[in-house]
Chain A
Amino acid sequence: MEMIVDQQTILLDKEGFLKDLSQWNPQVAEQLANNEGIALSDDHWEIIDLLQQFYREFELSPAMRPLVKYVGQQLGDDKGKSIYLLALFPGSPAKFAAKIAGLPKPDNCL
């Protein structure tokens, strides 16, 4: 699978995750979100930035439970709730947000 962003060919695996994580940039994120039917707002970007911070800190894509906890620690309890993340990234927040943020697929994700 591939997509074209800004005349660049971006290779994706069969679940739509980037094959080459270094190809990530904000335009690529917009397109990846588009593939999932999500239009990125500031609230989305806040979570995407936080996921990338998580990855730098732990070299790991978080599963849902630790992601909720981390969001709560960093952005406050109002946002550290699975319902908040589900509203932004319907279905599987840990998986879709990691995909859009250009991280590897979370290991412990159903």
Chain B
Amino acid sequence: MASKRILLICRKAPYGNALARAAADMALAAGAFDQELAIAFIGDGVWQTIDQQDSTDIQQKNHQKLLSAFELYGISESYVEAEALTERQIEPSRLSLAAKPVNQQQLSELFEQADMLLTV
């Protein structure tokens, strides 16, 4: 059976609740079991992808470090919403992840192509 193409959509900021962490754990689990998974950061989810995160003072694990494990887990396809970066004045050069900026039109096409959408 051909594996389903999963698109994981991350809409939450990296800290403040456990949802960003849960989504990343889901991605890593899919990677560990060799599932085909792409990940898209949209809206406030783009905050997950920026560099120089320091979570020491809130005693949380560093989300940037977690995302940097994606490559080892075979997750190489990731996208960020270009409009969300612009609205938040985040320069694409600040992304810690090799994520591809795509506009909302291109995102809709990615949604269409996926067999399964997971939104966190």
Query: Chain A interface (Cβ within 8 Å of chain B)?
Result: 57-60, 62-66, 69-70, 107-108
Contacts and interface: CB of A to CB of B under 8 A. Distances in A.
Interface residues of B, number: 16
Given A58-B65, A58-B66, A59-B65, A69 B32 contact: no
A59 B66 contact: yes
Contacts, number: 41
Nearest to B34: A65
Given A57-B65, A58-B65, A59-B66, A108 B33 contact: yes
A110 to B, nearest CB: 10
Interface of B: 25, 28-29, 31-34, 61-62, 65-66, 68-69, 72-74
Contacts of B29: 107-108
Contacts of A107: 25, 28-29
Given A64-B32, A108-B32, 18 more contacts: A57-B65, A57-B68, A58-B65, A58-B66, A58-B69, A59-B62, A60-B65, A60-B69, A62-B69, A63-B73, A65-B31, A65-B32, A65-B74, A66-B31, A66-B72, A66-B74, A107-B28, A108-B28
